[in-house]
Amino acid sequence: MSTNTIYFTDDHEYIQIDEDGIGTVGISSYAQQQLGDIVFVECPNEGASFNVGEEVAVVESVKVASEIYSPVSGEILESNEDLDENPALVNEDPMGDGWFFKISIADESELEGLKDETEYQEYLEEIA
């Protein structure tokens, strides 16, 4: 597994894998644009475990509330507490400071079901 590889789901979550095999999860820039101004984010509790595809967080914008699904199975290692006070971080930098949570990856083979950056861009063109 290469360092800082990013994968995407069809639901527009991303997971960035660091050198320790920890995944940082949030929503893609496309998802943020579709949602509009983010006003609230509910992140999962540290220590909670989720299976791939399970609802793990909620994001609310001025337009709509949307569920965030876990792109992989694993345990939540950290939630982005900055979003409690400043959910607008997701608007400003969805794939940087606006991350939602960090997860230990229980089964790296689950990453094979996700899209890489090129595949995700092609997917966005298809649904546009």
Domain span at residue 35 reads 5-127
Tell me the per-residue pLDDT of 32-58, one tens digit each, with 9 for 90 and over.
999 999 999 999 999 999 999 999 999
At 65, which CATH number? 2.40.50.100
Looking at the structure of the chain, the number of domains it has is 1
Phi, psi (rounded to 5 degrees) for 48: -70, 150
Q: What is the pLDDT of residue 19?
A: 87
- Which pTM was predicted? 0.94
Q: What is the pLDDT of residue 3?
A: 52
Question: Across-strand partners of 6?
Answer: 16
Residue 118 makes CB contacts below 8 A (sequence gap 6+) with none
